[in-house]
């Protein structure tokens, strides 16, 4: 027969054991509560461009996987720096994310000395949203039908061709300078304030050549307003089966895709980063997503972990920094 003191000790002991057993469950429940409210996905560019399209393409899909709304907030300005720096300063709780791009997280760091964020250390990379084939585009009035004819024409007419870019230090600018140096071409750079005005003047014939991503220009290629000469991609696009890749033309340095991705502020807890990564894997494995990306001319990325994504950002910054240095491209 137990005494009252023994009974009280027994109750205290069982209570302590119960609390110890319950702790992991409480922790799991707390972890599972993310997300418990809507997530803001910052697109650091105005509506309508490739980065905005990528953000909108995943927002609804992520909402379904996570069970919470993912709300797009366009925060354009300063070549994507305004919106990106806003996210870099946001609370690292998983409720403010950003669509990253070659511009914001590769080229800007490579050519802009006083960038208001550190593309590597101010963010927690999650994964890629898509890879984007790049394409060399010309006005159809140019008397060439393929890339080989274009090179011959450019060499026979040094200084006659003007190429457009979305601005000094942009991916298009640096890539075209690399193309010029590899092939010994002389073309004049005409920088614009964005890809839209550059494409408008390309279509009207004010300039003759540009470098841009395929998804933003697919309809203009298909309706004959622009002519694609070569793509930068692992393999030919099934939407442009007659257009070779730079790899096929023995120019591997130029055969570099662009991408968009997803990131959170630095110091976002690892379990939240991993949860977002797994949610993105679910989105990107969905057959509907695969088909939608195909129709857009985008490439569903390989399985890129947060650590692999960080390394790719670092490697590409180094690549474009060297390219900018070789061509004396520096922005203030």
pLDDT digits (tens, 9 = 90+) for 159-212: 999 999 988 888 999 999 999 999 999 999 999 988 889 999 999 999 999 999
Sign of torsion over alpha carbons 312, 314, 317, 323: negative
Distance CA 261, CA 129 (A): 5
The residue out of 214, 232, 254 marking a domain boundary is 254
Partners of 298 in beta bridges? 132
Distance CA 180, CA 253 (A): 12
For residue range 6-53, what is the model confidence (pLDDT) as tens digits?
444 444 444 443 433 333 322 333 345 899 999 999 999 989 888 999
Distance CA 191, CA 256 (A): 21
What CATH number corresponds to the domain at position 81? 3.40.190.150
The lowest-confidence range among 71-85, 183-197, 317-331 is 317-331
**Are residues 114 and 202 both part of a single domain?**
no
Q: How far is CA 216 from the centre of its chain?
A: 14
**Are residues 217 and 121 both part of a single domain?**
no
The answer to whether the beta carbons of residues 106 and 256 sit under 8 Å apart is no
What CATH number corresponds to the domain at position 192? 3.40.190.10
**Are residues 210 and 231 both part of a single domain?**
yes
Residue 57 is assigned to a structural domain of this protein: yes
**Angle at 100 (CA atoms; ends 102, 276), nearest 5 degrees:** 140
Residue 154 is assigned to a structural domain of this protein: yes
Residue 27 is assigned to a structural domain of this protein: no
For residue range 227-253, what is the model confidence (pLDDT) as tens digits?
999 999 999 999 999 999 999 999 999
Residue 328, pLDDT score: 83
Distance CA 271, CA 278 (A): 10
**Are residues 81 and 191 both part of a single domain?**
no
Q: What percent of the chain has pLDDT over 70?
A: 90
Distance CA 216, CA 198 (A): 12
**Are residues 263 and 315 both part of a single domain?**
yes
Residue 277 is assigned to a structural domain of this protein: yes
**Are residues 141 and 245 both part of a single domain?**
yes
Kindly state the greatest CA–CA separation across the chain. Answer: 108
**Are residues 46 and 119 both part of a single domain?**
yes
Reduced to 3 states (helix: H, G, I; strand: E, B; else coil), residue 5 is helix
**Are residues 296 and 162 both part of a single domain?**
no
**Are residues 201 and 244 both part of a single domain?**
yes
**Are residues 282 and 317 both part of a single domain?**
yes
The residue out of 254, 272, 296 marking a domain boundary is 254
Residue 14 is assigned to a structural domain of this protein: no
**Are residues 100 and 148 both part of a single domain?**
no
Domain limits for position 309: 39-132+258-326
**Are residues 107 and 147 both part of a single domain?**
no
Enter the tokens of residue 69: 């709304």
CB-based burial of residue 302 (10 Å sphere; 0-12 exposed, 13-18 middle, 19+ buried)?
exposed
For every residue of 94-149, DSSP letters joined together read SSEEEEEEHIIIIIHHHH-TT-SS-TTTTEEEEEEEEEE-EEEEE-TTSS-SSHHH
Looking at the 3D structure of the chain, how many domains does it have? 2
Residue 85 is assigned to a structural domain of this protein: yes
The residue out of 199, 226, 254 marking a domain boundary is 254
Residue 32 is assigned to a structural domain of this protein: no
Residue 19, pLDDT score: 37
Residue 28 is assigned to a structural domain of this protein: no
The answer to whether the beta carbons of residues 108 and 302 sit under 8 Å apart is no
């Amino acid at each position: 027969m137990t005494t009252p003191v023994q009974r009280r000790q027994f109750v205290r002991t069982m209570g302590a054991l119960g609390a110890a057993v319950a702790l992991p469950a409480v922790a799991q429940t707390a972890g599972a509560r993310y997300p418990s409210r809507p997530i803001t996905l910052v697109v650091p560019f105005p509506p309508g461009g490739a980065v905005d399209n990528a953000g909108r393409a995943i927002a609804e899909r992520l909402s379904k996987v996570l069970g919470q709304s993912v709300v797009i907030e366009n925060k354009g300005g300063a070549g994507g720096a305004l919106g990106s720096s806003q996210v870099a300063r946001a609370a690292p709780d998983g409720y403010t994310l950003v669509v990253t791009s070659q511009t914001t997280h590769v080229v800007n760091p490579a050519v802009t000395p006083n960038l208001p964020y550190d593309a590597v250390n101010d963010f927690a990379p999650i994964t890629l949203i898509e890879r984007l084939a790049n394409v060399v585009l010309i006005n159809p009035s140019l008397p060439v039908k393929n890339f080989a004819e274009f090179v011959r024409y450019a060499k026979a007419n040094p200084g006659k061709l003007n190429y457009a870019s979305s601005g000094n230090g942009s991916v298009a600018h640096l890539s075209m300078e690399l193309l010029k140096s590899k092939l010994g071409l002389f073309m004049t750079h005409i920088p614009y304030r964005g890809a839209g005005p550059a494409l408008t003047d390309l279509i009207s014939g004010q300039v003759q050549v540009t470098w841009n991503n395929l998804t933003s220009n697919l309809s203009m290629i298909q309706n004959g307003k622009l002519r694609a000469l070569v793509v930068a991609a692992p393999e030919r696009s099934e939407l442009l089966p007659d257009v070779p890749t730079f790899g096929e033309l023995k120019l591997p340095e130029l055969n570099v895709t662009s991408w968009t991705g997803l990131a959170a502020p630095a110091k976002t807890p690892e379990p939240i980063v991993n949860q977002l990564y797994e949610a993105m894997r679910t989105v990107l494995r969905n057959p509907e997503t695969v088909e939608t990306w195909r129709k857009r001319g985008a490439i569903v990325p390989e399985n890129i972990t947060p650590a692999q994504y960080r390394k790719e950002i670092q490697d590409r910054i180094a690549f474009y920094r060297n390219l900018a240095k070789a061509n004396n491209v520096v922005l203030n």
